[in-house]
Amino acid sequence: MSLSRFTGIEKDVSDSIANILFNIPQNFNPNKLVKNDYEKRLKNLNNNLLDWATAEALAYGSLIKENNRVRLSGQDVKRGTFSHRHACIWDQITGKELCLYRQLNPIDKD
* Domains of the chain as residue ranges with CATH: 4-68+77-105 (3.40.50.12470)
pLDDT in tens, 8-18: 778 888 889 99
Q: Is the per-residue pLDDT at 1 higher than 50?
A: no
Burial class for 36, CB neighbours closer than 10 Å (0-12, 13-18, 19+): exposed
Angle formed at CA 109 by CA 87 and CA 14, multiple of 5 degrees? 60
What letter would DSSP give residue 40?
H
Secondary structure E strands in 38-90: 89-90
pTM of the model: 0.79
